[in-house]
Amino acid sequence: MAAEVGVAVIPGQRLGDMDQYSAGSGTYIKQRHIYASLAGYKDIISQAGQLPMIQIKATKASNTLPLIGTVVTAKVLSVNPRFCRVLIICIGTMPLKEPFRGTIRKEDIRATEKDKVILYDCFKPGDAVLAEVISLGDPRSYYLSTAKNELGVVFAKSKAGYRMIPISWTQMQCPNTEKTELRKVARVKYWID
Protein backbone atom coordinates (compact mmCIF):
# COMPACT_ATOMS: atom_id res chain seq x y z
CA MET A 1 0.00 0.00 0.00
CA ALA A 2 1.51 3.28 -1.09
CA ALA A 3 0.55 6.40 0.83
CA GLU A 4 0.46 9.98 -0.43
CA VAL A 5 0.78 12.54 2.38
CA GLY A 6 -1.00 15.80 1.60
CA VAL A 7 -1.38 19.26 3.00
CA ALA A 8 -2.81 20.48 6.31
CA VAL A 9 -6.61 20.36 6.62
CA ILE A 10 -9.12 21.74 9.11
CA PRO A 11 -12.48 20.36 10.31
CA GLY A 12 -15.21 20.82 7.71
CA GLN A 13 -12.81 21.07 4.76
CA ARG A 14 -14.00 19.10 1.73
CA LEU A 15 -11.44 16.46 0.74
CA GLY A 16 -13.01 14.62 -2.18
CA ASP A 17 -16.00 12.73 -3.56
CA MET A 18 -17.26 9.22 -2.79
CA ASP A 19 -16.95 8.40 -6.52
CA GLN A 20 -13.16 8.77 -6.32
CA TYR A 21 -12.26 7.90 -2.70
CA SER A 22 -13.42 5.94 0.33
CA ALA A 23 -13.59 7.62 3.76
CA GLY A 24 -11.08 6.65 6.42
CA SER A 25 -10.37 7.74 9.99
CA GLY A 26 -10.71 11.43 10.76
CA THR A 27 -13.30 12.00 8.01
CA TYR A 28 -17.06 12.00 7.56
CA ILE A 29 -19.43 11.79 4.59
CA LYS A 30 -22.12 14.33 3.74
CA GLN A 31 -24.07 14.32 0.48
CA ARG A 32 -21.53 12.02 -1.22
CA HIS A 33 -18.59 14.31 -0.30
CA ILE A 34 -15.83 13.45 2.17
CA TYR A 35 -14.94 16.10 4.78
CA ALA A 36 -12.24 16.36 7.46
CA SER A 37 -13.57 15.89 10.99
CA LEU A 38 -10.36 16.98 12.69
CA ALA A 39 -7.31 19.16 12.12
CA GLY A 40 -4.33 17.34 10.67
CA TYR A 41 -2.79 16.23 7.41
CA LYS A 42 -4.55 14.54 4.49
CA ASP A 43 -3.30 11.03 3.80
CA ILE A 44 -4.37 9.08 0.71
CA ILE A 45 -3.80 5.33 0.85
CA SER A 46 -3.92 3.32 -2.38
CA GLN A 47 -5.65 -0.04 -2.01
CA ALA A 48 -5.40 -2.79 -4.62
CA GLY A 49 -8.76 -3.35 -6.33
CA GLN A 50 -10.51 -0.65 -4.27
CA LEU A 51 -10.92 3.11 -4.26
CA PRO A 52 -8.07 5.01 -2.59
CA MET A 53 -8.89 5.84 1.04
CA ILE A 54 -8.64 9.37 2.45
CA GLN A 55 -7.81 9.65 6.13
CA ILE A 56 -6.58 12.42 8.41
CA LYS A 57 -3.45 12.11 10.49
CA ALA A 58 -3.97 14.34 13.52
CA THR A 59 -1.45 17.06 14.20
CA LYS A 60 0.33 17.14 17.50
CA ALA A 61 -1.07 19.57 20.03
CA SER A 62 0.67 22.94 20.21
CA ASN A 63 1.54 25.26 23.03
CA THR A 64 1.63 28.32 20.75
CA LEU A 65 0.11 31.61 21.92
CA PRO A 66 -2.58 33.36 19.86
CA LEU A 67 -1.19 36.44 18.10
CA ILE A 68 -3.13 39.50 16.95
CA GLY A 69 -4.54 38.84 13.47
CA THR A 70 -4.56 35.02 13.70
CA VAL A 71 -7.77 33.09 13.11
CA VAL A 72 -8.70 30.75 15.94
CA THR A 73 -11.35 28.11 16.52
CA ALA A 74 -13.25 28.58 19.77
CA LYS A 75 -16.11 26.95 21.65
CA VAL A 76 -18.79 29.25 23.09
CA LEU A 77 -19.10 28.83 26.86
CA SER A 78 -21.65 31.51 27.82
CA VAL A 79 -23.59 34.38 26.25
CA ASN A 80 -24.92 37.58 27.83
CA PRO A 81 -26.25 40.86 26.32
CA ARG A 82 -22.79 42.54 26.13
CA PHE A 83 -20.35 39.74 25.24
CA CYS A 84 -19.86 35.99 25.02
CA ARG A 85 -17.13 33.93 26.66
CA VAL A 86 -15.29 31.36 24.55
CA LEU A 87 -12.55 28.78 24.93
CA ILE A 88 -9.87 28.97 22.21
CA ILE A 89 -9.06 25.38 21.22
CA CYS A 90 -7.13 25.81 17.92
CA ILE A 91 -4.84 28.44 16.44
CA GLY A 92 -5.20 28.18 12.68
CA THR A 93 -5.15 24.42 12.07
CA MET A 94 -3.08 23.61 15.16
CA PRO A 95 -4.94 22.20 18.20
CA LEU A 96 -3.76 23.52 21.57
CA LYS A 97 -2.53 21.49 24.54
CA GLU A 98 -4.10 24.00 26.91
CA PRO A 99 -7.08 26.11 25.79
CA PHE A 100 -7.13 29.90 26.25
CA ARG A 101 -10.09 32.02 27.31
CA GLY A 102 -11.50 34.58 24.91
CA THR A 103 -14.23 37.20 24.75
CA ILE A 104 -16.30 38.28 21.75
CA ARG A 105 -17.81 41.69 22.52
CA LYS A 106 -21.11 42.87 21.02
CA GLU A 107 -19.36 45.55 18.94
CA ASP A 108 -16.92 43.00 17.44
CA ILE A 109 -19.50 40.60 15.97
CA ARG A 110 -20.43 42.41 12.73
CA ALA A 111 -18.66 45.02 10.60
CA THR A 112 -21.91 46.93 9.95
CA GLU A 113 -25.06 47.64 11.98
CA LYS A 114 -23.14 47.09 15.23
CA ASP A 115 -25.89 48.77 17.27
CA LYS A 116 -28.51 46.24 16.06
CA VAL A 117 -26.58 43.14 17.17
CA ILE A 118 -28.36 40.88 19.65
CA LEU A 119 -25.85 38.39 21.06
CA TYR A 120 -28.45 35.69 21.75
CA ASP A 121 -29.25 35.71 18.01
CA CYS A 122 -25.57 35.25 17.07
CA PHE A 123 -24.16 32.56 19.36
CA LYS A 124 -25.34 29.83 21.72
CA PRO A 125 -23.28 27.84 24.27
CA GLY A 126 -21.61 24.86 22.60
CA ASP A 127 -21.23 26.51 19.16
CA ALA A 128 -17.87 26.23 17.38
CA VAL A 129 -16.77 29.64 16.10
CA LEU A 130 -14.03 30.88 13.78
CA ALA A 131 -12.78 34.25 15.09
CA GLU A 132 -9.84 36.60 14.67
CA VAL A 133 -7.69 37.72 17.60
CA ILE A 134 -7.94 41.54 17.73
CA SER A 135 -6.36 42.28 21.11
CA LEU A 136 -4.66 40.63 24.02
CA GLY A 137 -7.62 41.88 26.09
CA ASP A 138 -7.48 41.73 29.84
CA PRO A 139 -5.23 39.41 31.88
CA ARG A 140 -7.86 36.66 31.78
CA SER A 141 -8.82 36.52 28.09
CA TYR A 142 -8.15 37.50 24.48
CA TYR A 143 -10.54 39.79 22.60
CA LEU A 144 -11.86 38.16 19.43
CA SER A 145 -13.82 39.42 16.42
CA THR A 146 -16.20 37.76 13.94
CA ALA A 147 -16.69 40.96 11.89
CA LYS A 148 -15.59 39.37 8.58
CA ASN A 149 -17.81 37.23 6.35
CA GLU A 150 -15.61 34.15 6.72
CA LEU A 151 -15.79 34.33 10.53
CA GLY A 152 -18.64 33.17 12.77
CA VAL A 153 -20.37 29.92 13.69
CA VAL A 154 -19.11 26.88 11.77
CA PHE A 155 -20.73 24.16 13.90
CA ALA A 156 -23.89 24.26 15.99
CA LYS A 157 -26.33 21.74 17.40
CA SER A 158 -30.07 22.32 17.34
CA LYS A 159 -32.28 22.17 20.42
CA ALA A 160 -33.14 18.62 19.28
CA GLY A 161 -29.43 17.71 19.40
CA TYR A 162 -28.66 17.44 15.66
CA ARG A 163 -25.88 19.19 13.74
CA MET A 164 -27.39 22.20 11.98
CA ILE A 165 -26.86 23.27 8.37
CA PRO A 166 -26.34 26.94 7.43
CA ILE A 167 -29.12 28.26 5.17
CA SER A 168 -28.23 31.98 5.21
CA TRP A 169 -25.78 34.37 6.87
CA THR A 170 -28.06 34.63 9.89
CA GLN A 171 -29.82 31.25 10.10
CA MET A 172 -29.05 27.57 10.55
CA GLN A 173 -31.55 24.75 10.14
CA CYS A 174 -31.92 21.40 11.89
CA PRO A 175 -32.05 18.72 9.15
CA ASN A 176 -34.29 16.51 11.30
CA THR A 177 -36.93 18.92 12.62
CA GLU A 178 -36.45 21.56 9.87
CA LYS A 179 -36.66 24.32 12.50
CA THR A 180 -34.38 27.32 12.03
CA GLU A 181 -32.28 29.07 14.65
CA LEU A 182 -30.51 32.43 14.44
CA ARG A 183 -26.69 32.52 14.32
CA LYS A 184 -23.89 34.71 12.93
CA VAL A 185 -22.90 32.11 10.32
CA ALA A 186 -19.37 31.96 8.90
CA ARG A 187 -19.01 31.94 5.13
CA VAL A 188 -16.87 28.80 5.03
CA LYS A 189 -15.09 28.19 1.73
CA TYR A 190 -14.92 24.52 0.84
CA TRP A 191 -12.08 23.47 -1.39
CA ILE A 192 -10.37 20.34 -2.64
CA ASP A 193 -6.60 20.12 -2.64
CA–CA gap between residue 100 and residue 15 (Å, rounded): 29
d(CA 118, CA 81): 7
Best-predicted range by mean pLDDT (30-39, 49-58, 111-120, 152-161): 152-161
Per-residue burial over 7-29, b = 16 or more CB atoms within 10 Å of its CB, e = otherwise: ebbbbbbbbbeeeebbbbebbee
pLDDT digits (tens, 9 = 90+) for 47-78: 888 888 898 887 665 557 788 899 999 999 99
Among 60, 65, 106, smallest CA distance to 82 is for: 106
Q: Which pTM does this prediction carry?
A: 0.66
The confidence score (pLDDT) of residue 1 equals 36
Residue 114 has pLDDT above 50, yes or no: yes
pLDDT at 103 over 70: yes
Q: Averaged over 151-156, what is the pLDDT?
A: 93
